[in-house]
Amino acid sequence: MPVKTWNFRSFDGTNLKIHETGEGSLVILLHGLFSNAHTNWIKFGHAAALAAAGFRVVMPDLRAHGESEAPQDRSAYPDDVLVEDALALIAYLDQPIYDLGGFSLGARTTAKLLLSGAAPRRAILAGMGLEGLAGWGKRQDFFLKAIALKDTAKRGDQHWMAVQFMKSQKIDAVAAACLLTTFSDLEPQQVASITAETLILCGSEDRDNGDPVKLAELLAAGQHVAIPGTHMSSVTKAEMSQEMVRFLAG
């Protein structure tokens, strides 16, 4: 099915690029840090698989990512701005029944949304473990250092892969640094209060964001499924969309 794109003005007027494919029940998917909708959801066939299963798949490029605006003014990045963007999009789409999912940063944002008024039928947290929802300060420092080293990092440096991925996605370093300071943590007791039926979908070799089994066990209605791959490679696997379809269509 073809993918169409359209522009959405968020709560503060920032322009977000929205990618959409398929018809049927709505599912909103949020991509990971330094990525975009095409890389996470379209390139490797996940959106197409969901569309073929009867879903309308809506995939924003997050603020400061992809084809969305990347303002360099710090005032454009209030606390949890990605949550506010997503809530504005959900309100605009105005569908009483929908599903919601995300990968890595998109999963963090999805978890926050589940505690911020979003009420999806089902939710997917991909590439996420329990520890990835708290202790953001350490991860923030890592990525801010990667941004600082974007022109000097050498192969073998622990920041090398993040720097190369950021460059490949043409990320605006100033905007990304602003965005990184907006994320807030979720403590275990908050996570335990999430009631939506939730799939924790994680690569078998992926512990970048902590333990996915612990996260699933803490959730009131969580289930963990392992698919092949690391944090970076799991998103390229057909098993990712196969499990998403199984969960959402079941």
pLDDT, tens digit, 9 for 90 and up, residues 212-221:
999 999 999 9
3-state secondary structure of 116: coil
CB 231 within 8 A of CB 127: yes
- DSSP for 139-180 reads HHHHHHHHHHTTTT--TTSTTHHHHHHHHHTT--HHHHHHHH
Q: Which residues have C-beta within 8 Å of that of residue 31, sequence separation ≥ 6?
A: 37, 39, 40, 41, 59, 61, 62, 65, 66, 102, 103, 105, 106
Would you state the CATH architecture of domain 4-130+188-249?
A: 3-Layer(aba) Sandwich (3.40)
Secondary structure percentages of the chain, helix, strand, coil, to 5:
40, 20, 40
- List 98's β-bridge partners, or say none: 26
Q: Quick one: pLDDT at residue 79?
A: 96
Residue 62 φ then ψ, to 5°: -65, 155
The predicted pLDDT at position 194 comes to 97
Query: How does pLDDT run along the chain (250 residues), one tens digit per residue?
Result: 899 999 999 999 999 999 999 999 999 999 999 999 999 999 999 999 999 999 999 999 999 999 999 999 999 999 999 999 999 999 999 999 999 999 999 999 999 999 999 999 999 999 999 999 987 877 888 898 988 888 887 888 888 888 899 898 999 999 999 999 999 899 999 999 999 999 999 999 999 999 999 999 999 999 999 999 999 999 999 999 999 999 999 8
Residue position matching structure tokens 């009483």: 96
Tokens of 103: 């990968």
Per the listing, tokens 């289930």 go with 223
∠ CA 86-88-15 to the nearest 5 degrees?
85
pLDDT of residue 75: 96
**DSSP at 45:** S
pTM for the complete prediction? 0.96
Q: Where are the domains of the chain?
A: 4-130+188-249
pLDDT at 139: 81
